[in-house]
Structure 1
Amino acid sequence: MPLRINLRRLIVLVAFASAIIALANTFYATYRVQRQLLIDTTLEANQAYAHKLAGSTEDFLQSNRQQLAYSAGLLARRFGDASALTAEAERLRGQTNSFNSVLIVNARGIVLAVSPETLALQNSQLASSGALQALRERRPLITQPYMSTAGNLVIFISHPIFDASGNYLGYVGGSIYLKQKNILSSLLGQHYYRDGSYLYVVEQRRRLLYHPDPGRLGATAGANVVIDAIVRGESGSGSTVNTLGVDMLAGYAVLPSTGWGIVAQRPTTATLAPLKQLMLNTFWHTLPIALFSLPLIWWLARLISRPLVQLAEGASRMDAPGMAERIGRIGVWYLEAAQIKRALLVGMSLLQKKIGKLKSDVQTDPLTGLANRRGMAAALEAWQAQARAFSVIAIDIDHFKQVNDRCGHAVGDAVIRRLAHLMRACSRDADVLCRNGGDEFIMLLPDASLDIALQVAERLRARVAEAEIPGAGFVTVSLGVVSSSEQDSDSDSASILLGADAALYVAKERGRNCVGVRDALVRHG
């Protein structure tokens, strides 16, 4: 006799199998989505970071060229004065600390002045590739890396010197020693991260101009898809493997004037490190729902099977008196059970939306829709982890208690909502706007200098002062501004916020309706 299983057990087995498969599929899909999201976010951040540093480096090089061009104009009028040449070489090297050494060379390649004098190149004739290239091309020039006469691996930036009649006199140039402390390493070296992320700079011939490992400076990089793209003059992002065999997520940008490529990269393992904990959290949050579902499934199986049992019993006694009426009274639950199943799925979807809404509510001020203290702390924590510069504007409504006492709390709430609206109108999409509590507000401006933050603060102050609010009339605000770039390098976000409060206190002490910066007042209303 073939083995037969009753309907209740069959439904339980099918339901359990379906739940396990769905749960496993959900976990797998969540893992894939979150993994790709982390990778895409890192690639985008590294590319933006590389573009930012490429712009800073390009500005630095253009500034050096302008310095040399200005100096060349001065030297053309005093090229025969040896003391003037020496003084100008010393000024160029010492004024901005951009160059490790400065040379003034005549049209025959003989050094007329040098700084520092310890190089002992005075009156010598240069034969290095950079010096010869400058003499040959007679134009503003940034050379590829080469070994100098003094045995240093250098980049040479030069500008020709012409007299008033257009005769070529020589050139003035500055050297950047790649294997010594230089302005390029100072510009890029502060961006080294402890999680294995780092920056490097490579030129068109694949030689490394900057690398956190000093031993690799001047070395030629091997096969690498990122460097291949830089050689082609492309900027972008992508996955690569470094010389140590580590999978990296890189963003890269090319400098227009030199073709150098700046690469910011982070180990893939560091990027995906939070994923394991995320999946564990997802599992532990899902487990109670799964455990709760087991008895529910058993109960549904019993509920579904009961009508069939009753129908089977009625079919076996069809000849009994009144059986037709009894069968007519049997409830058939198939459609209702399907609806319950669909309702359960809809309920789970609503639960996920509710969880998402609760998470948003935790970081949002209900009155204004701005971020609350938790939202502000989350933004500051993320920026501090990225070593990202930002400015803070602390805002306080002047005499707000009098508004509440005179006009009522409903009008006070309207004033707060109006200020939040004006803050949005005066800010960028990337800015984080916060209500710190009561009538205290905070604006967090990523990548904004102190001057930009002061402009934003003054614009907001003026907009508030001009806005008439029904029931309250005109109100004013006091603002305090501070920038993380103006603080000590070891300042944390808490101390920067305290600095903003101190600046706000300055504004209040100076009569309110103005913008304060620590002990200085920016502007009165």
Structure 2
Amino acid sequence: MRKQQLMHKKKIKLSLPILSLGPLIVLLTVVTGVVMMVNTFVASYQRQQAILLENRLELNHAYATKIAESTDRFLANALQQLNVSAKRLGQSLNVATQAQEVERLYRQTYSFSAVGIIDSAGNLKASSSGHLEEPGRPLNSTGVKMALNRKAPTVSPPYHNTSGQLTIAISQPIFNPVGNYLGFVSGIIYLGQANSLDDILGRHYYSDTSYVYAVDEARRLLYHPDRNRVGTIVGENEVVDQVLFGLTGAQRVINSQGRDMLAGFAPVAATGWGVVAQSPTEQLTERLTSNMLALILDTSLPALAILILAWWVSRLIARPLTDLALHARALHTANSKQPLQAIQSWYFEARQLKRALMQSQASFHYQIDKLNETAQTDPLTGLLNRRGLTEAVNMLTQNQHTFSVIAIDIDYFKKVNDTYGHDIGDAVLKHLAKIMKTYSRHEDILCRNGGEEFLILLPDATLDHATQAAERLRVNIANQTDIPGVGRLTVSLGVARWTAESNESVDVTLKRADEALYKAKANGRNRVEAN
């Protein structure tokens, strides 16, 4: 009987393995930390990817719109140049005047590849030095037929001339003083060759593999960085379908070459053409992946140090280490700091492990915050972008924090871009942002709302104080004489105020600031109005 009891106790001992608290806690810490970091990295990657793709879509849409508007302006200017010549030729359609006008049009600007004068019978009467046809010959191209039929200002659809060159003809009719039709003067643009239209479509600020292309109503490529594709027909492409239908916008699309692209698109109103600015999706995701890998490498050494430290102290600690291990699962949550701080680390080893965990967490969140900050900042001016503005407004309103709004718009900024170019326009925007930073308080929130529009949020500022601040800013800008590229410029400002007691939405307050801004512009610009 005694022997059976001893054997039973021995079996019980063999069935209960001896477990070490230290290795178990370390194992739990390692598994929890790895899961936490993987989960956080994946969530951060997905969020950053969504933000980057959304921002690039917005950027490409804005850029396609800018190119489409510039193309519209170019065509309008070309028609105006031809109209001046048509009026002169209507007064005196002699050989000398014809030769003078075609050479003047051809050489005074970079607008046309060639210039010609065609009489009412379709015969070429005079041509510039860049024209492919000899004077005196009858012409029957698509551009000539359309101009003769319409007897009105015309921009022809693209067609192939007698030399096989894809061509656009822009023409103005010629009438004598009594209204008789004499023919027309035409400016020819050879697509795929160097000229002003090619510059407008081909000049962009991208430093990556993004690019712009343009199509006509027949889906024929009018411009493409690959010159060999100019004149070819674009296959199945949702973006091309939409822009040729007259729509504007942005979307992720698989293009006719089978590539995943982020495309912004806008129509050219005067001709029905479409402009598309697009970026390869893989280019942005590869860059984001590279940044995330760098972040992982930066945090790997602190994580390894924590694991070594945990292994060393696991033999000496009990309850505090157990508590740390249990709370390690929550390190990736927003409220993870409070449980760590509440742990009673009453001896040296537990205190060090607790501090190391908190430092690692702070370092990791700092890196994530830096990525988020980049996504909320306008890259040109360094001010908050619209996403950052939304975050700032939410912070103020959630705390029922009264604030005033100053809406700022640069007067005649379109003329700056048209006269000096977009590089000077960008320099002006950066300079204005610098002035705003100089003349703002530390607690003020500065934002670029898009284009040449800016916003300043002034916490705790009354409407009078905000109006005075706006006037100081206006006077300082107006007195500047060294603004890059332009020397002087002025701004118009609108002021409004939001309070929690007013029960007014922030959108209404921002709209009131805009209305005050428009009132300032309507009253002569270079002034401040309050609403």
In the other structure, the counterpart of 1:168 is 181
| 1:175 CA drift (Å) | 0.7
- Look up the equivalent residue of 2:229 and give its one-letter code: R
Under a length normalisation based on structure 1, what TM-score does the superposition of the two structures give?
0.60
The one-letter amino acid paired with 1:51 is T
> Superposed, which structure 2 residues align to 1:205-216 within 5 Å?
205-216=218-229
> In 2, Cα distance between the equivalents of 1:83 and 1:303?
105
1:70-85 to structure 2, matched below 5 A, reads 70-79=84-93, 81-85=94-98
Aligned: 1:481 with 2:483: yes
2:235 equivalent to 1:222? yes
Match runs of 1:173-184 below 5 Å: 173-184=186-197
Deviation at 1:145, TM superposition (A): 0.7
**Corresponding residue number in structure 2 for 1:20:** 34
Structure 2 portions without partners, runs of 5+: 1-13, 324-337, 345-353, 374-381, 384-421, 453-470, 488-531
Opposite residue 475 of structure 2, the aligned amino acid is R
**Matched position secondary structure for 1:191:** coil
5 Å matches for 1:119-518? 119-191=132-204, 195-242=208-255, 244-291=257-304, 293-294=306-307, 295-296=309-310, 302-304=317-319, 339-340=342-343, 390-391=426-427, 419-420=439-440, 463-464=475-476, 480-483=482-485
The answer to whether the 8 A contact 1:49-1:264 is kept is yes
Aligned length: 378
Greater Cα shift, 201-210 or 188-197: 188-197
1:49 and 2:50 correspond:
no
What is the identity, as a one-letter code, of the residue corresponding to 2:259?
Answer: V
* In structure 1, distance between residues paired with 2:76 and 2:477: 42
Q: 1:360 to 1:431 in 2, by over 3 A?
A: farther
Q: Kindly indicate whether structure 1 or structure 2 has the higher relative contact order, using CA contacts under 8 Å at least 6 residues apart.
A: 2
Deviation digits for residues 376-427 of structure 1 (CA, Å, limit 9, x no counterpart): xxxxxxxxxx9896326889xxxxxxxxxxxxxxxxxxxx9974559x9999
**1:92–1:15 Cα change, 3 Å:** same
**Separation in 1, partners of 2:37, 2:168:** 59
Q: Is the 8 A contact 2:174 2:185 kept in 1?
A: yes
CA distance in structure 1 between the aligned counterparts of 2:32 and 2:167, rounded to whole angstroms: 67
What is the DSSP-based 3-state SS (H/G/I as helix, E as strand, rest coil) of the residue aligned with 2:208?
Answer: coil
Aligned to 1:33: 47
SS of alignment partner, residue 482 of structure 2: strand
Q: C-alpha deviations, 1:306-334, integer Å up to 9, x for none?
A: 999xxxxxxxxxxxxxxxxxxxxxxxxxx
User: Do 1:126 and 1:149's aligned partners in 2 also have CA atoms closer than 8 Å?
Assistant: no
State how far apart, in whole Å, the 1-side matches of 2:49 and 2:135 are.
Answer: 60
Q: Provide closer, same or farther for how the CA distance between residues 117 and 481 of structure 1 changes in structure 2, counting only shifts above 3 A.
A: closer
Secondary structure of 1:391's partner?
A: helix
Question: In the aligned structure 1, how far is the partner of 2:190 from the partner of 2:370?
Answer: 56
Q: Displacement of 1:62 after TM fit?
A: 0.7
| CA distance, structure 1, for counterparts of residue 221 and residue 181 of structure 2 | 34
Please state how far the C-alpha of 1:150 moved relative to its aligned partner: 4.6
Deviation at 1:182, TM superposition (A): 2.2
Task: Tell me the secondary structure at the aligned position of residue 481 of structure 1.
Answer: coil
- Structure 2 residue identity aligned to 1:70: V
In structure 1, distance between residues paired with 2:186 and 2:108: 15
Distance 1:212 1:480 in 2: 37
Is the 1:140–1:160 Cα contact (8 Å) retained in structure 2?
yes
Rate the CA distance shift 1:101–1:4 in 2: closer, same or farther, 3 A: same
1:43 aligns to what SS in structure 2? helix
The Cα shift of 1:479 comes to 5.7
- Structure 1 residues 387 and 266 mapped into 2: Cα distance closer, same or farther (>3 Å)? farther
Q: Partners of 1:266 and 1:216 in 2: how far apart?
A: 18
Corresponding residue SS for 1:390: helix
TM-score, normalization: structure 2? 0.59
Alignment-mate amino acid for residue 38 of structure 2: A
- CA distance 1:181–1:39, shift in 2 (3 Å): same
The one-letter code of the counterpart of 2:51 is L
**Distance change (3 Å), C-alpha of 1:394 and 1:278:** closer
Taking the aligned partners of 1:297 and 1:257, their CA distance within structure 2 comes to 73
Separation (CA, whole Å) in 2 of partners of 1:259 and 1:5: 81
For 2:371 and 2:237, locate their aligned partners in 1 and report how far apart those are by CA, in whole Å. 42
**For residue 314 of structure 1, what is the aligned residue in structure 2?**
none
Contact 1:15 1:297 in 2 (8 A): no
User: 1:92 Cα shift?
Assistant: 1.5
Say whether the 8 Å CA contact 1:192–1:198 is kept in structure 2. no
- Name the CA distance, whole Å, in 2 between partners of 1:46 and 1:232: 19
* Cα pair distance change 1:479/1:264, threshold 3 Å: same
- Offset of residue 109 of structure 1: 1.5
| Aligned-partner residue type, residue 62 of structure 1 | A
- AA matched with 2:103: E
State the SS of the aligned residue for 1:87: helix
Give the AA of the match of 1:96.
T
Q: How far apart are the structure 1 equivalents of 2:74 and 2:423?
A: 21
